Amino acid sequence: MKSDSVATSRRTGATPRSFEELRIHVAASQKDLPKRLAQAARFALAHPDEIALGTAASIAEAADVQPSTLVRLAHHLGYEGFSDFQGLFRERLKTRASTYEERLSKLQQGAEGDSYEGALLSGFLSAGRQSLDSLSETIDAAQFGRCVGLLAKADMIYLIARRRAYPLIAQMSYAFAKLRIRAATIDSANGIDAELVELATSSDAAIACSFAPYAPSSVDQARALVDQGVPLVALTDSALSPLAVCATHCIEVFEQDYAGFRSLSASMAVAMALPVAIAERRRIGR
């Protein structure tokens, strides 16, 4: 017998039937998800290929939950069971693979003697354009304005990022310095990051950037700042990311990938816009 939530979802047509629908649905209902279901949902959105290709046992182990949690999550979201839920991810993988092959074919057909390297560059340019187009369609201008307003009031802006996200705060640090806005990057060579975090107060603010699989040190530092009462703006790829969960405001950016490498095009656009918008907000005093 189906659970009440499954039956309700079927009646209302609310069961997500694409990865994007699932992402939006989970983000909107995350506050209603029990802790373990939320943990499993975050893993699923951050590692869609693993959901598509793994077994319930292997996925549960990777997500650090019980296999029964995956079944409960599937039912909670309106699916018949885990296999039905997994089918969405397999369809995404199949579609993505097909699109990828078609794109490569078009590149090869259009190259007419051009090098493979040129086709590869075209692929990365295409991923960057797709990321920017997606952000243009999904960005919440009002939410961006709230982020700017919060950061414009800060005495000091602390910047947090590691690994792939690090170029974002490098750009912001440069821009803040040029715009005469006080900012500090929590990335000390002499190991005093914890002490820098302890210096922050509620009159400051922080920007943390991280994408799946999320740098543990970035998440830990962001949480430490929030625990001290420091407002946090998160630049991340999911409303269920560990940064989004603890942030005051969140800017969600999903980057397209090419050959397994994700673009930073859309994220960098946000990283460039934020300092300029903050400086302008301070200038006009709004």
30 burial type by CB count under 10 A (0-12 exposed, 13-18 middle, 19+ buried): middle
Whole-number Å distance between alpha carbons of 180 and 188? 21
CATH number for the region 4-90 comes to 1.10.10.10
Whole-number Å distance between alpha carbons of 242 and 239? 9
- What does each of the 286 residues of the chain score in pLDDT, given as a tens digit? 444 444 444 434 478 888 878 877 887 777 778 889 988 888 888 778 788 888 888 899 888 899 999 999 999 989 999 999 999 888 877 766 555 556 556 555 544 555 677 777 888 888 888 889 888 888 888 999 999 999 999 999 999 999 889 999 999 999 999 999 999 999 877 788 888 888 899 999 999 999 887 888 888 899 999 999 999 999 998 777 888 888 999 998 988 887 777 889 999 999 999 999 999 999 887 6
pLDDT of the residue at 237 = 85
The stretches of the chain forming alpha helices (DSSP H) are 4-12, 19-29, 35-46, 48-53, 56-63, 67-76, 82-111, 116-138, 141-152, 166-178, 193-199, 216-227, 242-246, 265-284
Angle at 212 between CA 58 and CA 33, to 5 degrees: 70
Spatial CA neighbour of 210 closest among 266, 273, 247, 163? 163
pLDDT of the residue at 213 = 76
Contact present, 186 and 160 (Cβ < 8 Å): yes
Homologous superfamily (CATH) of 141-284 is: Glucose-6-phosphate isomerase like protein; domain 1 (3.40.50.10490)
Whole-number Å distance between alpha carbons of 183 and 140? 25
pLDDT of the residue at 107 = 52
In which residue ranges of the chain is CATH 3.40.50.10490 found? 141-284
Spatial CA neighbour of 69 closest among 53, 56, 58, 80? 56
pLDDT of the residue at 109 = 55
How confident is the model over 201-236, as pLDDT tens digits? 999 999 999 988 788 888 889 999 999 999 999 999
Whole-number Å distance between alpha carbons of 22 and 35? 18
pTM: 0.66
In which residue ranges of the chain is CATH 1.10.10.10 found? 4-90
Whole-number Å distance between alpha carbons of 140 and 135? 9
pLDDT of the residue at 11 = 36
Whole-number Å distance between alpha carbons of 279 and 216? 31
Angle at 246 between CA 245 and CA 247, to 5 degrees: 100
